[in-house]
Amino acid sequence: MKIHEYQAVELFRKFGIPVPEGRVAADLAEAQAIAGAIGFPVVLKAQVLSGGRGKAGGVAIVANSKELKERFLKIKNLVIQGYPIERILVVRALAIQKEFYVAVTVDTFKNDVVLIASRQGGVDIEETAKKSPEKIQKYYFNGRRELEVRSWADFIQTLFPDPASQMAFSKIAGGLVELFQRYDCSLAEINPLVIDSQGRFYAADAKISFDDNALYRHPELLALRDLKYEDPDELEAKQNDLSFVKMEGNVGCIVNGAGLAMATLDVIGLLGGRPANFLDVGGSSSPKKVLNALRIILKNTKVKSILINIFGGITRCDDIAQGILEAKKQLDIQPPLVVRLTGTNEQQAKELLAGGGINTFSSMREAVGKAVVLART
Amino acid sequence: MSILIDQNTRLLIQGITGRDGSFHAQRMLEYGTKVVAGVTPGKGGQSIFGVPVFNSVAEAQKKTRPNAAVIYVPARFAKDAILEDVHAGIELVICITEGIPVLDMVEVMGILRGSKTRLIGPNCPGVISPGKSKVGIMPGHIHQPGPIGVVSRSGTLTYEVVYNLTLNRLGQSSCVGLGGDPIIGTRFVDVLELFMRDPGTQGIVMVGEIGGEDEQRAAQWIQSNAVKPIVGFIAGRSAPKGKRMGHAGAIISSVDTAAESKIRILKEVGVSVVDSPDEIPAALQQG
């Protein structure tokens, strides 16, 4: 789960990370009031969860209230990657001397939390990591939850020569790590971290995302979620314990298991078709889940055929068959159904479906081929 | 021969009285797996399907000497369940549970370093050595003993692959599900190494997917260590960028984590990568 910059800034404040003075504004009057309180020049920053804000013109420095009005209204009218701008962060403009990068994340190969720092900030860090890896320093925690004094002292020498900067940076790094651990983040990033003309450090940007699997222990974070950025169908699927991703094609898919679902989409592509969605009904699928899955798929009017591909293990094929028959009764299913069932209780399932006039396949390739052909006509 | 588990595996089931745990305990017993104990805190002293239940792993360890454990407990208790096994010195822990917080797994992995425990999973279907022992949730009947080792990041896709192998009379030495999470205890390289050393394994199937760079690390290892033919399949070629495809670890975050990069790199080191799971048997027979 991602949150907006202004929300991340509030969390930074709580954990003692210095941020430039300012607040988020929903309308022009509010923005003028904030600017009036902190003094011009100020920076206006569109609040979006998608990238590409700078390129889209979502950030501007303004020197007076006339400029503020002009630029505020312009930014407010932007649509960035399909999303309208509802809020604009107004902060004091800094006299930037130097920009750095610092982030805490999980290195999934080393199975450890890592703090990544670079004396080159404000740029795409992945690009830097690839082109000049020597410009990036990594501090591993070895399973600890905080900075360890001695190894940190060694690490920070390589970044800052002077004790004052070392101290200021250590305080920021410590806060970032504490925040990361406290809220089960998957990323807590400051890019850029800046030094102003008086040698003070500020987080000039704030990016935080959280581990969805750990949200149960931080219920307060759910209030920060911006539902506008969630696809309503994907949200509905999640509420029904289904894993769903919308795609561009016209072959609707219901599969059990994420790996098999991905492979099914791949074989659809291989045989010349285009999948309309990824949908994993999960293990131990009850008839109800199949009904909900079909309901979500049928909302997509582009769907020309629906492929149900089930490899029964814990999932019982007869449960799936029951769900399909129930769905046929309750829903108006126009696109043709192609059903492939193999595994646990396959025979019972096939008999059930044959009774309902639905033909089934045992081979995945044959079923996919059929669904692809039906989607063409 | 086989790897990780065989007829001598003495299994402990954590969460044996729960819905999933009890269902799969029965399936494993039917398959012939030697289940020596179950653990559910607060239910010690009972017995289920003839298997004694204990309150803690330590107690079960003292009384029944298991050498492997399988975990079916809910995600929020999974970290402690794994750590109980580590402290009791259980050599092999297979964690089926899905949805464990990443930082819980970071903590577990920190403690696992320097212990003698090997962890498979989490969020995995388990391990089976056909005809000998089944530890996990896979349907036993689709497997058949034979010379092919299977290692995969997925569950049902592994069944699909195994089903095609068995249909083509290619039996399996062992099938290992590594799990669909970003942090997992055992990775491709570890299992490939075991298969290379196992005299009962003559060919290997590796099933990867988008996300992470484990397939790339495997390719590096394969280049200088592979002495048996390997056939590969990578799921997720049609997956959109930046979307999590069911598995927590299956997300294209950069070019390197996309299917095409993995396929290219594996092909470069001699792995025969096929386009569809049903092409695996033919590729093995050619290899």
The parent domain of residue B58 ranges over: 10-120
Which of B212, B244, B276 is nearest residue A270 as measured by Cβ atoms?
B276
Same domain, B115 and B146: no
Query: Do A230-376 and A96-224 fall under one CATH topology?
Result: no
Are A213 and B160 a contacting pair at CB < 8 A?
Answer: no
Is B4 inside any structural domain? no
The rounded distance, in Å, linking the Cα atoms of B269 and B227 is 12
Question: Would you call B159 an interface residue with chain A, using a CB distance cutoff of 8 Å?
Answer: yes
Q: How many domains does chain B have?
A: 2
Q: For residue A92, which amino acid is it? A: R
Q: Are B78 and B104 in contact (CB under 8 A)?
A: yes
CATH topology of domain A230-376: Rossmann fold (3.40.50)
**Domain end marker among B61, B93, B120:** B120
Question: Would you call B163 an interface residue with chain A, using a CB distance cutoff of 8 Å?
Answer: yes
Q: How many CA atoms lie within 13 A of A105 on its CB side?
A: 16
Active site residue B24: no
Same domain, B169 and B208: yes
CATH topology of domain A21-92: Dna Ligase; domain 1 (3.30.1490)
- A–B interface: beta-carbon pairs under 8 A: 169
Same domain, B155 and B282: yes
**Amino acid B145: pLDDT:** 98
The full set of domain ranges for chain A reads: 21-92, 96-224, 230-376
CATH number, domain of B97, equals 3.40.50.720
ipTM of the complex as predicted: 0.93
CATH topology of domain A96-224: D-amino Acid Aminotransferase; Chain A, domain 1 (3.30.470)
Same domain, B179 and B282: yes
Q: How confident is the model at residue B86 (pLDDT cuts 50, 70, 90)?
A: very high
For an interface test with B, which of A124, A189, A229, A314 has the most B Cβ atoms less than 10 Å from its Cβ? Answer: A314
Same domain, B170 and B222: yes
Taking CA–CA distances from A261, the nearest residue in chain B reads B157
The rounded distance, in Å, linking the Cα atoms of A120 and A171 is 20
**B62: its two tokens:** 């003292």
Residue A73, H or E segment: helix A65-76
How big is the CA angle at A200 (ends A197 and A205), to the nearest 5 degrees? Answer: 100
**Amino acid A129: pLDDT:** 79
Residue B229 DSSP label: -
Is B2 inside any structural domain? no
Please pick, among A5, A6, A183, A189, the residue that the annotation labels catalytic: A189
**Amino acid A330: pLDDT:** 94
Which residues of chain A make contact with B246, given a CB cutoff of 8 A? 243, 257-259, 261-262, 278, 280
Query: Would you say the pTM of this structure is higher than 0.90?
Result: yes
**Amino acid A284: pLDDT:** 66
**Amino acid A131: pLDDT:** 83
**Amino acid B287: pLDDT:** 66
* DSSP E strands, chain A: 22-25, 42-46, 59-62, 79-80, 83-84, 88-92, 96-107, 112-118, 136-140, 185-196, 201-203, 207-210, 243-246, 251-255, 277-280, 305-312, 337-343, 360-361
The rounded distance, in Å, linking the Cα atoms of A333 and A330 is 9
Residue with tokens 């509010």: A30
Question: Would you call B217 an interface residue with chain A, using a CB distance cutoff of 8 Å?
Answer: yes
Low-confidence ranges of chain A (pLDDT < 70): 284-285
Are B163 and A109 a contacting pair at CB < 8 A?
Answer: no
Which tens digit of pLDDT belongs to each residue from B97-142?
999 999 999 999 999 998 999 999 999 999 999 999 999 999 999 9
**Amino acid A54: pLDDT:** 86
Which tens digit of pLDDT belongs to each residue from B182-210?
999 999 999 999 999 999 999 999 999 99
Same domain, B144 and B95: no
The rounded distance, in Å, linking the Cα atoms of B41 and B54 is 7
How far, in Å, are B41, B160, B177 from residue B139 at the CA level?
28, 11, 13
Same domain, B167 and B96: no
Same domain, B73 and B156: no
Question: Would you call B25 an interface residue with chain A, using a CB distance cutoff of 8 Å?
Answer: no
Q: Which residues contact A159 (CB under 8 A, 6 or more apart)?
A: A100, A117, A119, A137, A166, A169
For A107, the 3-state DSSP assignment is strand
Same domain, B155 and B104: no
Name B69's bridge partners. Answer: B12, B93
The pLDDT of B151-156, averaged and rounded, is 94
The pLDDT of B240-256, averaged and rounded, is 86
Is B125 inside any structural domain? no
Are B233 and A109 a contacting pair at CB < 8 A?
Answer: no
**Amino acid B143: pLDDT:** 96
Same domain, B78 and B144: no
Same domain, B47 and B96: yes
Other Cβ atoms less than 10 A from the Cβ of A354: the count is 12
CATH number, domain of B232, equals 3.40.50.261
Same domain, B234 and B185: yes
Percentage of residues in chain B having pLDDT higher than 70: 100
